Structure 1
Amino acid sequence: MAILRSLLLPLGLFLCLGLLCSPASCINHNDNCTFFSKVIATTYSGIHANQNVYKSNTVYTVSVPVNNSISSVVLRAMDQHDSVIGSWQKADKYCNGSVLYHMKSPYSKLFEAKWVSPSSMNITAVKLQVFTVDFHNTARVSLKMLKRNVTTTHKLTTTHKLTTTQTTAKSSANRAFLSPMRDVIQILLIFLTSKLLF
Structure 2
Amino acid sequence: MAILGSLLLPLGLFLCLGLLCSPASCISHNGNCMLFNKVIVATCSGIHANPNVYKSNTVYTVSVPVNKNITSVILRAIDQDNSLIGSWQKADKYCSSSVLYHMKSRYSKLFEAKWVSPSFMNITTVELQVFTVDLHNVARVSFKILRRNAKSLANRAFLSPMRDAIQILLVFLTSKLLF
Q: Tell me the matched-pair count.
A: 129
Match of 1:110 in 2: 110
Unaligned runs of 5+ in 2: 1-30, 160-179
**Does structure 1 residue 100 correspond to structure 2 residue 100?**
yes
Take 1:51 and 1:130, find their aligned partners in 2: how far apart are those partners?
A: 17
Match of 1:39 in 2: 39
Match of 1:134 in 2: 134
For the structure 1 residues 151 and 33, does the alpha-carbon distance in structure 2 shift closer, same or farther, using more than 3 Å as the test?
same
- Map Cα deviations across residues 18-39 of structure 1 (whole Å, 9 max, x no partner): xxxxxxxxxxxxx611301100
Could you tell me which amino acid in structure 2 is paired with residue 127 of structure 1? E
Normalised TM-score (structure 2): 0.68
Could you tell me which amino acid in structure 2 is paired with residue 72 of structure 1? S
Query: Secondary structure of the equivalent of 1:60?
Result: strand
Match of 2:68 in 1: 68
Shift of residue 156 of structure 1?
A: 5.7
Query: Secondary structure of the equivalent of 1:39?
Result: strand
Query: Secondary structure of the equivalent of 1:54?
Result: coil
Query: Secondary structure of the equivalent of 2:44?
Result: coil
Take 1:83 and 1:137, find their aligned partners in 2: how far apart are those partners?
A: 26
Take 1:63 and 1:158, find their aligned partners in 2: how far apart are those partners?
A: 32
Asked whether the equivalents of residues 49 and 60 of structure 2 are also in contact (C-alpha less than 8 Å), the reply is: yes
Shift of residue 153 of structure 1?
A: 3.7
For the structure 1 residues 37 and 81, does the alpha-carbon distance in structure 2 shift closer, same or farther, using more than 3 Å as the test?
same
Match of 2:169 in 1: none
Match of 2:55 in 1: 55
Report matched runs for 1:147-158 at 5 Å.
Answer: 147-153=147-153, 155=155
For the structure 1 residues 154 and 64, does the alpha-carbon distance in structure 2 shift closer, same or farther, using more than 3 Å as the test?
same
Take 1:149 and 1:88, find their aligned partners in 2: how far apart are those partners?
A: 22
Shift of residue 150 of structure 1?
A: 1.2
Could you tell me which amino acid in structure 2 is paired with residue 49 of structure 1? A
Query: Secondary structure of the equivalent of 1:53?
Result: coil
Unaligned runs of 5+ in 1: 1-30, 160-198
Match of 2:88 in 1: 88
Take 1:100 and 1:71, find their aligned partners in 2: how far apart are those partners?
A: 11
Match of 1:179 in 2: none
Shift of residue 151 of structure 1?
A: 2.9
Higher helix fraction (1 or 2): 1
Say which structure, 1 or 2, has more relative contact order (CA 8 Å, 6+ apart): 2
Could you tell me which amino acid in structure 2 is paired with residue 104 of structure 1? K
